[in-house]
Amino acid sequence: MVSLHVWGVPGRHVPTAILRMALHRRAVRSMPGVRFAKLLGTGSARTFTPRDADSRHWGVLACWDDPDGPERFADSAVAAAWARTATESAAWVMRPLSSKGRWAGEEPFGRPAPTRWAGPVAAITRGRIKPRMWRTFWSAVPPVALDVRTGGGLTFALGIGEAPLGLQGTFSTWADGAAMTDFAYRRSPHRAVIDQTRKLDWYSEELFARFALLSARGTYADRPVAPGTGRAGAAAS
Domain that holds residue 196: 2-107+114-222
Strand, helix or coil for residue 14: helix
Is 74 within the bounds of a domain?
Answer: yes
Q: What is the pLDDT of residues 44-86, one digit of tens each?
A: 765 555 667 899 999 999 999 999 999 999 999 999 999 999 9
Is 167 within the bounds of a domain?
Answer: yes
CATH number at residue 29: 3.30.70.100
Is 235 within the bounds of a domain?
Answer: no
Distance from C-alpha of 208 to C-alpha of 123, rounded to nearest angstrom:
7
Distance from C-alpha of 204 to C-alpha of 206, rounded to nearest angstrom:
7
Is 20 within the bounds of a domain?
Answer: yes
Mean pLDDT for the stretch of residues 205-225: 93
Amino acid (1-letter code) at residue 9: V
Lowest mean pLDDT among 20-24, 49-53, 191-195: 191-195
Q: What is the pLDDT of residues 120-176, one digit of tens each?
A: 999 998 877 765 656 666 666 654 454 455 556 889 988 898 865 445 788 989 999
Instruction: Name the nearest CA neighbour of 237 among 119, 116, 120, 99.
Output: 116
Strand, helix or coil for residue 110: coil
Q: Name the pLDDT band for 195 (thresholds 50, 70, 90).
A: low
CB 58 within 8 A of CB 158: no
Is 163 within the bounds of a domain?
Answer: yes
H helical segments located in 86-187: 134-150, 177-181
Sign of the dihedral defined by the CA atoms of residues 77, 89, 112, 123, in that order: negative
CB 38 within 8 A of CB 145: no
CB 91 within 8 A of CB 5: yes
**Does 101 have pLDDT greater than 80?**
yes
Is 233 within the bounds of a domain?
Answer: no
Number of domains making up the chain: 1
Is 229 within the bounds of a domain?
Answer: no
Is 232 within the bounds of a domain?
Answer: no
DSSP for 21-90? HHHTHHHHHTSTTEEEEEEEEEE--SS-SGGGEEEEEEEEEEEESSTTHHHHHHTSHHHHHHHHH-SEEE
User: Which residues have a Cβ under 8 Å from the Cβ of 94 and sit 6 or more positions away?
Assistant: 1, 2, 3, 4, 122, 211, 212, 213, 214
